[in-house]
Structure 1
Amino acid sequence: MRVLIAPDAFGSTLGATQVAAAMAQGWADGAPHDDLRTLPLSDGGPGLVDVVQQAVGGTTVATTVSDPLGREVPAGVLLVDEGGRRTAWVEAAQASGLHLLAADERDPGVTSTWGVGELLEVAVAEGATRVVVGVGGSGTNDAGAGMLAALGAGPASALARGGLALREADESALVGLAGVVDRLRDVELVLATDDETPLLGLSGTSAVDAPAKGASAEQSQRLESALGHFTDVLGRVLPAPTDLLTGRPRRLDREPGAGAAGGLGHALLALGARPVGAVAEVLRVTGFGVAAAGSDLVVTGTGRLDWTAVRGSVVSGVAEATMETARPVVAVAGECLVGRRETMTMGLAGVYAVAEQPHERDALVADPVATLRARTARVARTWSPAR
C-alpha cells in the first residue's frame, strides 16, 4: 500500500519534519511492506520555512533579528526563484513567536513585532517581488506597530514598546508610514493565515488571543482600548482603501485575519497585503494534491486535536483536500479532545491519540518520538495488516 504521511508539528515539542520522520519509522515498524512518502506541513507558524524549503528547495538567507523583547535571535528568510520571479517566505514566529519567551516573560502588553519588520527588510533587500508572511504562533499583541516601526513608519519609542504603549500614539508616530507604503508598492505582500479573528471587539484578538499569551482579564481590556486608539490614528494617517463593490472605505480592522498574531494581520493589510489561507497555500506549494492522489492512504498528525482544529488547521486542510482524491485520511494526535462526530465531519476515517490516559501523557512528554513511533506502528497494523 502507498502511504502518504503529512503531519503538522506537535506544538513546540516536535517540528513537522521530526513528526513525519517518527511516524514513518513507526509505520515501517508496523507495516514494513508498505511504500511510504513523507510530506511535512505547516499552518504558517513555527517551522513554515523548513517545510517549504524541504518541498521546493530555495536558498535560506541567515540573519539576526529582535525577539518579542528585543533580544537578538537567529532567523532566516527563504528565497525561491521560479518563472523569473523571486518569492520570499517569512516565518513571523522566528521573531515574534510565543516559544521565544519563558513562561514568566509572556506579557503581550510589552512584546513587539519589531523583528518581523526586520525579516521583511531582508526579503526586500534580497530582491523579492513577492513576500509570503506566515503569522502563526505569535507572542505579541501590538497590532503590528513594531513591524511598521522597523520598516520606517515611525519611531521605535512610540511603536515598538508593545501594545499598551499604543494608547499614547498620535499621528507623529506614523510620520513615515506613507513612505513605507510607497516603497513596498511593487512588492506583492501575502498574509498567510487561517485565523479569521478581527482586530477589535468581543471576538477580537485582545479578548480572544491575548490571555493565552499571558494577559490578565484587565490587561486584555486595556489592550483592546490601546489597539482601538492606534487603529483610529492609523486610519487618519493612511486612509483605508475603497471597497470595489460598495464604493465605501474598507474597515480593515473588521476583515478576517486582521486580528491574526495580535493584530499583525491588520498592519500587513494596511500595507496592501492579500490574505490567503496558510494551510491551503502550504498544500499548494508542496504539491500535496498530486501526492495524495498517488497514494492509497493519507496519514496526518497534530499535537492536540481539539475544537480549534475543526477549521483552519493542517488536519482539517489535509482531510478536505484529500476528499477530492477519494482517499481515506487518518490522524495520529498527541491528544484528541473532540468526539467521533466532529472528526467524521472533518472527513477523517479514524483518529488515534498517543496519550489517552494520564500516565500516557507523561510518557509523551518524556519521550515524544518513541511514543509517537509506537502509536503509529499500531495504527499501521490496523490499516495495513501483514499479507
Structure 2
Amino acid sequence: MKIIIAPDSFKGSLTSTEAAHAIACGLRDADPYATLVEIPLADGGEGSVEAVAERLDAQIVTIDTVNPLMKKMTAKYAIAETAEGKTAIIETAAASGLNTVSRDERDIMASSTLGTGLIIADAFSRGCRNFIVGLGGSATNDAGLGILAALGYRLLDRNGKTLTPSGASLSELARIVASRDDDALRDCRFTLMCDVDNPLYGKSGAAFTFAAQKGASPQQIEQLDLGLRNWSRCVTRDLGIDVAELPGAGAAGGLGAMFAAFFNAEMRSGIEMVLDLAVFDDELRDADLVITGEGRMDSQTLHGKVPMGVLRHARRAAVPVIALSGAIDHCEEFDRAGMSGVFSIQPSPVSLDEAMQRETASRNLRSTASQIMQLIKAFTCK
C-alpha cells in the first residue's frame, strides 16, 4: 500500500515537515511495510519556505532582521537557481508573522513589515531578481509600508516629515518617494503565494476581515480601513494604478496591493504552486490513500487551504483522502466536499496551550495515524 502524507503545518505546534514525520511514524507503528511518501505542504504561510525550498534544492539563508514590533530577531529564507535565474523564496510569516510576537505583545497599529523588507533587501543584495513570496500568517496591516521603507522608499506626511512604517501611519501618509533602486526593483519578478481574494479595503477588505485575529479592536479596525483607503488614494494618484479591488489586494494586511502596485506582482494560489513544485499529481498515479491535515479545519479551510487543494488533486486521480486536525468545525461540509474521513487527534479534553505543545501534538498525530492504519489493515488483510 502506498500512502502519501501531505499535511500543512499545525500552526504554533508543528511544521509541516514535523507533522508529516509524526504521521509517518504512526503509520509505520501499525504497518512497517507500507510505502510512505512524505510531502510537507504550505499555502503561503508559515512553512512555505521549507516546503518550496525542499522541492527546488535551495540554500537556506539566515539573517538578522526585526519582528513586527521592530525587535531584533533572526529569520530564514531560501535561494535557489531556477529557470528564471537566482530566486529568493520568502514568507512574510518569517519576520512579520503572528508567531513572532507573543499574544499579549501584539499591537497591530505599531506593527510593521520592515523585517520582511530587510529579508527582500538582503536577497536583492545577493543578486536575486526573482522572488516567490508567501503572504500568509502576518501580524501586520501596514499595506507594505515597512517593506517599502526597507527597500529605500521614503514615506512622507503632509509636512514632508518621514513616517515610521506601521499601520498607524497609513492615515498620515501623503507621499511615497521612490527608492534609488526603484528601476532595478521594478525589473524584478515577484510571484505571490496567496490564497485569499479579498479587496484592499471595505467590509471584505484587509482590516475588517483579518485585523481582529491580529488583535485589533473594533475602533482600530475602522482606523486601519480608513488608512488603507488613504494609502490607495496616494498610490493611485502617484503611480496611476488602482489596485484596491484586485482579488488578493487585502492579503497579509494589504501586501497584495503593495506588491501589485509597485512591482507588478503575479498572484498565484499558494497551495497550487507548492503542489506543482512537488510534482504531486505524478505521485498520485499509483497511490492508494492520501493523508492531509492542519491545526484547525474550519470554514477557512474550505476556501483554498492545503487540505482542500490536496483533495481537489486527489479526487481527479480517484484517490481517497483522510484529514487529521487538532480541531474541526463544519465536519459535514468536508464530508460533502469529498473527504473520506476527518479525524480529530485529541484523545481527551485538555487546555489549548497543552494541546498545542510540540510534544503533545506530535504524540497525538502519531497515535491517531497508527489507529487509522490498524483500521485499514483490519479491512484489507482478511
TM-score range, shorter chain: over 0.9
- Contact 1:43 1:313 (8 Å CA) reproduced: yes
Partner of 2:335: 344
Partner of 2:177: 175
Question: In the alignment, residue 195 of structure 1 is paired with which amino acid?
Answer: V
Q: What secondary structure sits across from 2:291 in the alignment?
A: strand
Partner of 1:108: 108
1:254 aligned to 245, 253, 269, which one? 245
Q: What secondary structure sits across from 1:80 in the alignment?
A: strand
CA–CA separation in structure 2 for the residues paired with 1:383 and 1:210: 43
CA–CA separation in structure 2 for the residues paired with 1:362 and 1:236: 47
**Deviation by residue 1:182-240 (Cα, 9 ceiling, x = unmatched):** 22232111111101111100111111111111110011001111111121112212111
Partner of 1:314: 306
Q: What secondary structure sits across from 2:254 in the alignment?
A: helix
Q: 1:361 to 1:65 in 2, by over 3 A?
A: closer
Sequence identity, in percent? 34
- Contact 1:163 1:223 (8 Å CA) reproduced: yes
- Contact 1:89 1:132 (8 Å CA) reproduced: yes
- Contact 1:158 1:165 (8 Å CA) reproduced: no
CA–CA separation in structure 2 for the residues paired with 1:170 and 1:360: 47
Q: 1:169 to 1:354 in 2, by over 3 A?
A: same
Partner of 2:223: 222
1:76 Cα deviation after fit? 2.3
2:376 aligned to 362, 383, 386, which one? 383
**Deviation by residue 1:45-103 (Cα, 9 ceiling, x = unmatched):** 11111122223311122211121011121122211113372221111111100111111
Q: What secondary structure sits across from 2:154 in the alignment?
A: coil
CA–CA separation in structure 2 for the residues paired with 1:175 and 1:129: 22
Q: Does 1:164 align with 2:155?
A: no
Partner of 2:27: 27
Question: In the alignment, residue 196 of structure 1 is paired with which amino acid?
Answer: D
Partner of 2:140: 140
Partner of 1:335: 327
Partner of 1:67: 67
1:353 Cα deviation after fit? 1.0
CA–CA separation in structure 2 for the residues paired with 1:182 and 1:20: 42
Q: 1:161 to 1:153 in 2, by over 3 A?
A: closer
1:266 aligned to 257, 265, 283, which one? 257
Q: Does 1:131 align with 2:131?
A: yes
Q: 1:276 to 1:365 in 2, by over 3 A?
A: closer
- Contact 2:149 2:165 (8 Å CA) reproduced: no
Q: 1:159 to 1:186 in 2, by over 3 A?
A: same
**Deviation by residue 1:230-259 (Cα, 9 ceiling, x = unmatched):** 21112212111xxxxxxxxxx311111111
Q: What secondary structure sits across from 2:326 in the alignment?
A: strand
Q: 1:84 to 1:257 in 2, by over 3 A?
A: closer
Q: 1:57 to 1:43 in 2, by over 3 A?
A: same
- Contact 1:64 1:73 (8 Å CA) reproduced: yes
**Deviation by residue 1:261-305 (Cα, 9 ceiling, x = unmatched):** 111111111121011111111111122111222311111111111
Structure 1 residues without counterparts, runs of 5 or longer: 241-250
Question: In the alignment, residue 24 of structure 1 is paired with which amino acid?
Answer: A
CA–CA separation in structure 2 for the residues paired with 1:84 and 1:337: 41
- Contact 2:331 2:342 (8 Å CA) reproduced: no
- Contact 1:258 1:265 (8 Å CA) reproduced: yes
Q: What secondary structure sits across from 2:89 in the alignment?
A: strand
CA–CA separation in structure 2 for the residues paired with 1:345 and 1:128: 44
- Contact 1:46 1:137 (8 Å CA) reproduced: yes
Aligned residues: 373
CA–CA separation in structure 1 for the residues paired with 2:146 and 2:182: 15
Partner of 1:120: 120
- Contact 2:43 2:274 (8 Å CA) reproduced: yes
- Contact 1:88 1:123 (8 Å CA) reproduced: yes
- What aligned pairs does 1:277-288 form with structure 2 within 5 A after superposition? 277-288=269-280
Q: 1:199 to 1:159 in 2, by over 3 A?
A: farther
1:359 Cα deviation after fit? 4.1
Structure 2 residues without counterparts, runs of 5 or longer: none
TM-score (normalised: structure 1): 0.91
Question: In the alignment, residue 214 of structure 2 is paired with which amino acid?
Answer: K
- Contact 2:285 2:317 (8 Å CA) reproduced: yes
Partner of 1:17: 17
Q: What secondary structure sits across from 2:237 in the alignment?
A: helix
1:383 Cα deviation after fit? 2.6
TM-score (normalised: structure 2): 0.93
Q: What secondary structure sits across from 1:184 in the alignment?
A: helix
Q: What secondary structure sits across from 1:304 in the alignment?
A: strand
CA RMSD of aligned residues (A): 1.9
**Deviation by residue 1:95-144 (Cα, 9 ceiling, x = unmatched):** 10011111121111110001111111122222223201001110001111
CA–CA separation in structure 1 for the residues paired with 2:244 and 2:82: 34
- Contact 1:114 1:160 (8 Å CA) reproduced: no
CA–CA separation in structure 2 for the residues paired with 1:143 and 1:181: 18
CA–CA separation in structure 1 for the residues paired with 2:120 and 2:211: 24
- Contact 2:140 2:214 (8 Å CA) reproduced: yes
Further displaced range: 351-360 or 255-264: 351-360
- What aligned pairs does 1:17-56 form with structure 2 within 5 A after superposition? 17-56=17-56
